Amino acid sequence: MSFIKLPSLTDHDILKALDLSQAIVHFSPEGTVLAANDNFLKLMGYRLDEVAGKHHGMFVTQAERNAPDYRAFWQDLAAGNFRKAVFRRVTRKGREIFIQATYTPIRDHKGRVRRVIKFATDVTADVLKTAEYEGQITAIQKSQAVIHFTPDGTVLWANDLFLNVMGYRLDEIQGKPHALFVDDAHAASQDYRAFWADLRLGQARTAEFRRLAKGGREVWIQATYTPILDPAGKLVKVVKYATDITAQKLVTADYQGQMAAIGRTHAVIEFGLDGRVLQANDNFLAATGYRLDEIQGKPHGMFMPEAEVKTEAYRDFWQKLRAGDFVSGIHKRVGKGGQTVWLRATYNPIFDASGRVCKVVKYATDITRLMTSHLAAVSSAEVTLANVEAVAAASEELTASVAEITRAADSGHRSAETMRDNVSRGEEAVARLKETTSAMNGVIKLIQDIATQINLLSLNATIEASRAGEAGRGFTVVASEIKTLSGQTATATENIARQIAELQEVSQTVDGTMTGITGGILQLHEASAVLSSAIEEQLAMTRSIASNMHKAVDGVTGTTDSLAKMVQ
């Protein structure tokens, strides 16, 4: 090996070179400034006369000057010990700067320290940048799970957040392979090998990863695997920054499951705020008869009757949605080829992270068959209503007729009662007549007895007149007259007896007839009472039917109105 021969350099030449690139200042062993070059004076903002003879403490904060460490620092230098580090210093204007400096004690020939020379470089920008980086890393480590790996995936270190998420202690994972956090099938897969191959090539990976914590517990993380390269571009390690998103992932999975379930059972379509179609699922396409490419980018109005699109109500509909208000109801829409489609739908404004409406999603159920049935039901209900109203009117007429019959039955019942009373009085009169005729029989018998005695008396008088002769002639006339009178009386009495017998026979007949009439009237009275009660019940029932028919009219009217409203 050969070397290029260089000319010898003197100490002066070396110091001159250092003076051009370094901030240099000379101190006494006690720290008093002896000399300083322009680089140092410019860096600190002083003139030489402002620092010469002053103590080094003017370049540090008061708190540092008063600290035991500062006194120990100069005692150490005075003892001949070399010091090298990054130091914080204060300029004339009070600005903090950082210097990379060496404090070198200079000894005399007897080995005593005569002065201290400081060679310094301003590294303020680098220190501040490093501090910023360190602050960012510290902040990241306080908020994120961090773990370091060797290029082959062996764990070097992990912070507490990572250990808490995964449930391990550091000594349980340090020196272990990354595969500890994945299942065996994934660790043996080509994808896993390619994952680490990409990292070793310096390619960062960011994604959501499924990992296994201690005990096999499933954990989801949002992570970035960052290859760390040295200044030569060589991979020295891989650092992973991660956030535990397990809870969020579970919620998201739940939401996605719900949305998938809704998508399987509902017709779903998305619109921009301008009303143009963004997306639609198969259920919506099946309900309307379109393909996605036939409706994507087209206005919502294509599903509306043309006349409605131009109305103020339709403009208000979209204005309401853009304002963030949802709209729900039964909507009549037009499918492909003009077919009528009925949808029970909710139009839902979707808000972005800033709370602004970004699109509208409609969830709908195809109820076309149901609405067709409803429309048929409305028509049937209207016919039923007309029929029920007719029956109600007939019921009213029937009620009026039954009421009239009731009044007639009541009148007949009252007449029967009057007849019953009259017949009762007739029976009483016949009974008295029978009693009177019976009494007359006794009188007639008495008259007959008297007539018989008069007849005997007349016979005796005649006999005595005969005995008296001429003297009894007048008496004979009287006796004859008495006999004639007795005969007449007997004849009259017989006539009376015959007439009374006939009267008794007639009264007996009348009595029998009156008894028959009384029985008939009693039966008529009882029948009229039963009829009157039955008609009263019929009237009450008829009125109830009429009332119920009116209620039926109201019910059918309400049903008809409700069915009609459903299709509006």
Residue 177's contacts (CB-CB under 8 Å, 6 or more residues apart) are 152, 153, 154, 155
Can you tell me the mean pLDDT for 335-360? 92
Q: Does some domain include residue 138?
A: no
Half-sphere exposure of 30 (CA within 13 A, CB side): 4
Beta-bridge partner residues of 223 = 207, 242
> Are both 15 and 75 inside the same structural domain?
yes
- 3-state DSSP percent of the chain in helix, strand and coil, to 5: 60, 20, 20
> Are both 384 and 360 inside the same structural domain?
no
* Tokens 């270190």 -> residue: 157
Q: 311, 339, 366 — which closes off a domain?
A: 366
Which of 197-201, 260-264, 554-558 shows the lowest per-residue confidence on average (mean pLDDT)?
554-558
Q: Does some domain include residue 526?
A: yes
Residue 36 sits in a domain of what CATH number? Answer: 3.30.450.20
What would the two tokens of residue 333 be? 């829409």
Which domain range does residue 162 map to? 144-250
Q: 250, 279, 309 — which closes off a domain?
A: 250
> Are both 225 and 246 inside the same structural domain?
yes
With bands split at pLDDT 50, 70 and 90, how would you rate the model's confidence at 114? very high
Q: How many domains does the chain have?
A: 4
Checking if the pLDDT of 247 tops 70, the result is yes
Residue 99's contacts (CB-CB under 8 Å, 6 or more residues apart) are 23, 43, 86, 87, 89, 120, 121, 122, 123, 124
Q: Does some domain include residue 485?
A: yes
With bands split at pLDDT 50, 70 and 90, how would you rate the model's confidence at 53? very high
Residue-wise pLDDT for 506-557, tens only, equals 667 766 666 666 666 666 667 666 666 766 776 676 677 667 666 766 766 6
* Tokens 């009117």 -> residue: 393
> Are both 23 and 104 inside the same structural domain?
yes
Residue 408 sits in a domain of what CATH number? Answer: 1.10.287.950
Checking if the pLDDT of 384 tops 80, the result is no
| Overall pTM surpassing 0.75 (yes/no) | no
Residue 237's contacts (CB-CB under 8 Å, 6 or more residues apart) are 148, 149, 150, 151, 156, 228
% residues pLDDT > 90 (the chain)? 52
Q: Does some domain include residue 136?
A: no
> Are both 439 and 542 inside the same structural domain?
yes
Residue 113's contacts (CB-CB under 8 Å, 6 or more residues apart) are 29, 77, 78, 79, 80, 105, 106, 107
Residue-wise pLDDT for 5-41, tens only, equals 556 666 667 777 788 889 999 999 999 999 999 999 9
Q: Does some domain include residue 282?
A: yes
For the beta sheet containing 327-334, the strands, ordered from the edge strand earlier in sequence to the opposite edge, are: 277-280, 267-271, 357-366, 340-351, 327-334
> Are both 104 and 159 inside the same structural domain?
no
What would the two tokens of residue 343 be? 């949808």
If one compares 261 and 402, the residue with the highest pLDDT of the two is 261
pLDDT at 1: 46
If one compares 192 and 566, the residue with the highest pLDDT of the two is 192
Q: Does some domain include residue 6?
A: no
Checking if the pLDDT of 426 tops 70, the result is no
> Are both 313 and 383 inside the same structural domain?
no
Can you tell me the mean pLDDT for 469-476? 65
With bands split at pLDDT 50, 70 and 90, how would you rate the model's confidence at 324? very high
Residue-wise pLDDT for 131-162, tens only, equals 888 888 777 778 899 999 999 999 999 999 99
Q: Does some domain include residue 97?
A: yes
> Are both 200 and 94 inside the same structural domain?
no
> Are both 340 and 382 inside the same structural domain?
no
With bands split at pLDDT 50, 70 and 90, how would you rate the model's confidence at 130? confident
> Are both 353 and 382 inside the same structural domain?
no
> d(Cα 271, Cα 293) in Å, to the nearest integer?
14
Checking if the pLDDT of 243 tops 90, the result is yes
Can you tell me the mean pLDDT for 403-421? 68
With bands split at pLDDT 50, 70 and 90, how would you rate the model's confidence at 495? confident
Residue-wise pLDDT for 55-110, tens only, equals 999 999 999 999 999 999 999 999 999 999 999 999 999 999 999 999 999 999 99
> Are both 283 and 414 inside the same structural domain?
no
Q: 188, 219, 250 — which closes off a domain?
A: 250
> Are both 545 and 410 inside the same structural domain?
yes
Which has the closest alpha carbon to 52: 77, 38, 81, 32? Answer: 32
Q: Does some domain include residue 160?
A: yes
